[in-house]
Chains A and B, each alone.
Chain A
């Protein structure tokens, strides 16, 4: 398939949104997400919400260093992970815990990272959200925005050359799409015919900066054309649309058809982070308008339309989620910080002599102080 025809197929207006306002969808599109999967996704979104609420509270109580919610964006984060193969790497930015939950990363593993305790797989080295779960094909998150995009491109090329049939997906925000790395990644991916998907969570804001300051163009997806790759702009609060777009792009890339850029329109319903106060820069009524398009509300309505979800079921799902999160918090908060010696490990595979000396001198200093 040529680039142009795929682009056209993906850009067909009726494909941009699947769920109707009343929760219904075209009968033949139901199978995009079978009933049992839809229920599993719904439960994960509920869990994600409970985590957001409880962990933000924990942060306010000074028990967690920092927190960022993804409330409102779960159709993208969970839906994309759902649409991929289990061994497709996902290069996260930071606001995508939903992808981890779909991948069945254990809650405690997530919480251990957020705390940075002795059981954290990253050994307490990074701030909250800087996950890495190799076993679940989640490479390491870093703060400088956009840096993961060329990585996903390179991985997608490796997958093609090594014939692993994996497709690498990278998330970024619309703010990050202004970085040079974004443009480099798209350009390289086209040139290298990488098995890569770039997924922009366009949630309207980069901290206080609205999308209109990032670009004069009215679509980020249209950038794909400039790099000769497929591009599509979708309703990112519509779970079925996200699944469809990511699945199409993944199948295409897996088949050698090249990379794709997906721009998913959504909304950051919460603050940028626990350090932010959005009332300083955006009107409350704007937030309220988006509540109608809330990912959870739309998935719930759709499940009800299918007749597979009741209020009673939802109540017990909330209760299950609360219980799981409580257990996660209490188990992980008990753990000690990583041992001091670990500070010096993993800078290199083998510790250089000069660093070993620094370590020994410091440990001696600590011992002498105790005496």
Chain B
């Protein structure tokens, strides 16, 4: 645990997979281009060479086939770790995830459970247009039976992936591809986990609570620094587990600050922010000092040329922080 290594998120994920594959002989990795090539983002680089082509392999280009087959493998005793090349391409597999993987345990009264992780890079900020930028977490969070997890940096990525891999339920693991190579941090070399269903208090503050996750954590941090320059002291929470989420952590912060702002890059309507705001307004109603706010992507498809306008920016966050605190 003591040994720390500098890693970016790709390396941290690769390292988590490596540790897990070494430990669990039944774990297998499958997906498009994940074999010898190591995945289009290189998350599985070197793993086929290490664990063989029976355990780490390329599949035909068919997401429904990938997830459906993975479900069968899990039923048969393997532990599939699936890569969907981009979250935008998960939809051919939507039925298998939402109707099959998610409901399997419940519909058979717990006779079977599916221990499997479905990894996928998600999110904007890489000039990917409609189909290489989407943030589909809400679709999955809306599906009882799935766990949805989104790390924000290398340390979180490794700890959460190892926790997801140990989890007996199907986990949709969304990786913010904008952060893949943008930061390097100290990551413990050995096995460790970050518990699911737990948010992280990233910064303490008095004036407002800012909740974000994934690539939006960077925007949150930058906005909070700007706010600090204006004399505002903002508390920041990294949600990490999108569903089931850590309501307690958010509530105890809002009870202190009386103000809440949630950032998500997914379209606004019916998103994760809406869910948090609804629960917080009910449970912390008497402590609130300003309307609860969210900043989200607009309710349009993800654009190409105008993506900087689409994505929540630190300036927009600062603007809403000011309005919330000065309310």
Contacts and interface: CB of A to CB of B under 8 A. Distances in A.
Interface of A: 65-66, 116-117, 120, 124-127, 130, 142-145, 175-176, 178-181, 206-209, 213-215, 275-276, 280-281, 337-338, 340, 342-344, 347, 354-355, 358-359, 362, 365, 368-369
A56 B55 CA distance: 36
Q: Which 5 residue pairs of A and B lie closest in terms of their CB atoms, listed nearest first?
A: A124-B305, A143-B131, A127-B129, A208-B37, A178-B60
Interface size class of B (residues with CB under 8 A): 35 or more
B298 A179 contact: no
Given A181-B92, A207-B37, A355-B298, A124 B310 contact: no
Contacts of B185: none
B75 interface: no
B319 interface: yes
Interface in B172-204: none
B11 to A, nearest CB: 18
Nearest to B59: A213
Nearest to B62: A178
B268 interface: yes
B139 interface: no
A276 B59 CA distance: 19
Contacts of B89: 143-144
A36 B218 CA distance: 59
A124 B304 contact: yes
Nearest to B306: A343
- B contact face: mostly helix, strand, loop, or mixed: loop
Contact of A343 (B37, B60, B310, B315): B310
Contacts, number: 121
Interface string B75-99: 0000000000000110110000000
A355 B300 contact: yes
B169 interface: no
B36 A180 contact: no
Nearest to B310: A343
Nearest to B39: A208
A280 B309 CA distance: 36
Contacts of A178: 60-62, 65
A369 to B, nearest CB: 7
A206 B298 contact: no
Contacts of A280: 37
Given A127-B132, A144-B89, A209 B305 contact: no
B233 interface: no
B92 A117 contact: no
Given A180-B64, A207-B40, A65 B127 contact: yes
B268 A209 contact: no
Q: Which of B33, B40, B131, B309 has the most CB of A within 10 A?
A: B33
A233 B197 CA distance: 54
B315 A369 contact: yes
Contacts of A207: 32-33, 37, 40
Given A126-B129, A178-B61, A337 B298 contact: no
Given A124-B305, A213-B60, A214-B60, A355 B299 contact: yes
A175 B304 contact: no
Contact of A179 (B58, B62, B129, B299): B62
Given A209-B58, A354-B299, A338 B305 contact: yes
A68 B293 CA distance: 42
Nearest to B128: A127
B244 interface: no
A200 B193 CA distance: 46
A176 B60 CA distance: 9
A176 B61 contact: yes
Contacts of A175: 60-61
15 contacts: A124-B306, A126-B130, A127-B129, A143-B130, A178-B60, A179-B63, A180-B92, A209-B61, A215-B60, A343-B300, A343-B310, A344-B298, A344-B300, A358-B298, A369-B315
A117 B305 contact: yes
Nearest to A179: B62
B269 interface: yes
B301 A347 contact: yes
A274 B204 CA distance: 43
Contacts of A206: 32-33, 61
Given A180-B64, A208-B33, A340 B306 contact: yes
B127 A66 contact: yes
B299 A347 contact: yes
A127 B40 CA distance: 18
Interface in B29-56: 32-33, 36-37, 40
